[in-house]
Structure 1
Amino acid sequence: MMTEPAEIQSVLGLDVSRNNVTLCDGHSRHTQTIANIADALRTALQPYQGTATLAVCEATGGHEDTPLGVLLELAIAAHRADPAKVKAYIKSFGKRAKNDPIDACWLSRYGRDRAATLSRWQPVDPTQQKLELLVARRLDLVAMRVQEQNRLKAPRSRLIADNIRAHLSELERHIEALNAEIDTLIGESRDLALRAEQLRSVPGIGPVLVPLLLAVMPELGTLNRRQVASLAGVAPHPKDSGKASWHRSTTGGWRQIRPALFIAALAACRGNNGLATAYKALLKASKPKRVALTAMRKISPSQTPASGTPCDSKMK
């Protein structure tokens, strides 16, 4: 396991693209561009091995995997930053200039200013990573299917209609194949199977939502209910200023989760379970239906999995 010095003395900023990585040494302000290849990165980063160094790069849809792997190999602490947070940080200085060396220097400065609070990157379990990729691909194909179904409503040509139907059939085959692969992967992993069983015990959570929650929110079971609510995008946030006080609204969180949870809540509130009881009680208290659906946070003890909190993600 990688050990980290008590105090970070130098921060590296890595601006990552598909072909190159621009590295900025926060101490010397020297920048260099390296090919995004393991051997080249290993040579460039070797001098920082064993030093009190933190490397910061942005999430770039997978292009950062190679640099992060090399940093892990060399036991250099790393942080994979949220691009939106870095962009807001740069914006706070009123700066507009942008190129690879400038971005790398900003990443170094971002890491220097926030080193104490930045989480350190750790490699994802291979099974969890494979599940995330499969679920992400399934979401893409489902979105394509919806688009094609909408186009089929007004194709304006028989040839186009036949082409769309053929594409829909192909999409269906691929989605079914992914469903089977996801089910097999969960069944073969003891940890995923246990968490899936716990999630299925919650009313409204079915075979589509279970792998989505396992893939997008692997933190379930390790966070408290308020953190989970915020991560899922169902936490009400205040919007007050001076004497003005507006209704609280839910925002943020993973964009894939909120629609799925909404459908699950609709299904649960029509059954005979603790969630439905809580929903009806909220309606009786004159809460609007949408507010009541979002506020269904109570699960009766008989419906709560014995081993912990994954079900707390429902709407808390």
Structure 2
Amino acid sequence: MDTSLNDGKVASFANDEAGIAALVERLQAQSPKLIVLEATGGFERIAAAALAAAHLPVAVVNPRQVRDFAKASGRLAKTDRLDATVLAHFAQAIQPAQRPLPDQAAQEFAEQLARRRQLVEMLSAEKVRLKQATGKAVRKGLKEHIAWLGKQLHASEDGLRQLIESSPAWQAKRDLLTAVKGVGEVATMTLLALLPELGTLGRKPIAALVGLAPFNRDSGTLRGRRTVWGGRAAVRQVLYMATLSAVRHNPVLKAFYDRLRGRGKRPKVAIVAAMRKLLTMLNAMLRDNAHWNPPGNAKIA
């Protein structure tokens, strides 16, 4: 990995134990005000953990933000050295907030959840291939693989449940969340793993964090339109599925959705609004450690 240092130079360090140790030593000598890393699918975790353990100020940022910043700055070329320089300029201009790294249990939970999602995707793909296959040997292999993936999926889900059972705090949050009609086990696991801020932020910041905060787009011929974008896609996906269930079976969300549709709102707009309301309700419940209470939660908006 290439790193832009305080003196304007770019240095390269291997993303292994020795390279990360050298990086930490180099940065400790410079006493930086902020160290910015791009989220790279988990490859940044060891370096970020080592820097945090050395009491260095670390912020892990969305790579899309950095790339948009680079484009806005007129830097269209992309190499490791240029990326390091762009990150340094991004840190100076934006000064992203430092975020504490999740503890080991939280990281393991998130990895288990990601593995479960991968297994579900592989199972779906193999089942499609089985429908299309005609040869006996291929079909036999596919069936065996599907059976194996199914066992792995069950093992992964059992592992997630055991991790929740090992934490009284997670158990308490799970019990609160699953009491809400529409919020199932998968949605609860995803919220616990990928949205640890739930219950600690206000309704607007938590909506923005997930990517459900409406932004104005009053420009050119667009007037009065509001759009949502960014945020945590995996969280948004489970909230979408939970909301589809909730607008049918949860009296509060159903009444809210029906009211919006009665006002002429398009189905997609009404669903997104219901997703935001569900998120707000769940956030308030965890914040106040309050159990599901339809009359009281109906007033949360």
Smaller-chain TM-score range?
0.7 to 0.9
Say how many residue pairs are matched.
289
Secondary structure, aligned partner of 1:122: coil
Q: 1:233 aligns with which of 202, 208, 211?
A: 211
User: Structure 2: which 5+ residue stretches go unaligned?
Assistant: none
Counterpart Cα distance in 2 of 1:279 and 1:263:
15
Counterpart Cα distance in 1 of 2:285 and 2:41:
35
Find the counterpart in structure 2 of residue 153 from structure 1: 131
Find the counterpart in structure 2 of residue 66 from structure 1: 46
* Matched-pair contact (CA < 8 Å) for 1:192–1:214: yes
One-letter code aligned to 1:54: L
One-letter code aligned to 1:91: K
Secondary structure, aligned partner of 2:117: helix
Find the counterpart in structure 1 of residue 60 from structure 2: 80
Shift of 1:47: 4.9
One-letter code aligned to 2:17: A
Counterpart Cα distance in 2 of 1:238 and 1:264:
26
Shift of 1:29: 1.9
Counterpart Cα distance in 2 of 1:133 and 1:144:
16
Counterpart Cα distance in 2 of 1:135 and 1:182:
7
* Matched-pair contact (CA < 8 Å) for 2:181–2:250: no
| Residue 105 (str. 1) matches residue 85 (str. 2) | yes
Find the counterpart in structure 1 of residue 102 from structure 2: 124
One-letter code aligned to 2:85: C
Shift of 1:179: 0.9
Structure 1 residues 7-60: Cα deviation after superposition (integer angstroms, max 9, x where no partner): xxxxxxxxxxxxxx323223x222222232334433454354273442222112
Q: CA RMSD in A?
A: 2.9
Find the counterpart in structure 1 of residue 142 from structure 2: 164
Q: 1:114 aligns with which of 80, 85, 94?
A: 94
Counterpart Cα distance in 1 of 2:250 and 2:8:
64
* Matched-pair contact (CA < 8 Å) for 1:155–1:161: yes
Find the counterpart in structure 1 of residue 21 from structure 2: 42
Secondary structure, aligned partner of 1:278: helix
* Matched-pair contact (CA < 8 Å) for 1:22–1:31: yes
* Matched-pair contact (CA < 8 Å) for 1:90–1:106: yes
Counterpart Cα distance in 2 of 1:298 and 1:22:
42
Find the counterpart in structure 2 of residue 308 from structure 1: 288
Q: 1:211 aligns with which of 189, 192, 199?
A: 189
Counterpart Cα distance in 1 of 2:195 and 2:229:
17
Find the counterpart in structure 2 of residue 29 from structure 1: 8
User: Structure 1: which 5+ residue stretches go unaligned?
Assistant: 1-20
Structure 1 runs, 4 residues or longer, greater than 6 Å off: 309-312
* Matched-pair contact (CA < 8 Å) for 2:173–2:286: no
Percent identity reads 28
More helix by share: 2
| Residue 136 (str. 1) matches residue 114 (str. 2) | yes
Shift of 1:274: 1.8
Find the counterpart in structure 2 of residue 12 from structure 1: none
The 1:96–1:290 alpha-carbon spacing in structure 2 relative to 1, beyond 3 Å, is: closer
Counterpart Cα distance in 1 of 2:263 and 2:185:
33
* Matched-pair contact (CA < 8 Å) for 1:201–1:305: no
Shift of 1:298: 7.0
Find the counterpart in structure 1 of residue 171 from structure 2: 193
Counterpart Cα distance in 1 of 2:225 and 2:133:
43
More strand by share: 1
Secondary structure, aligned partner of 1:223: coil
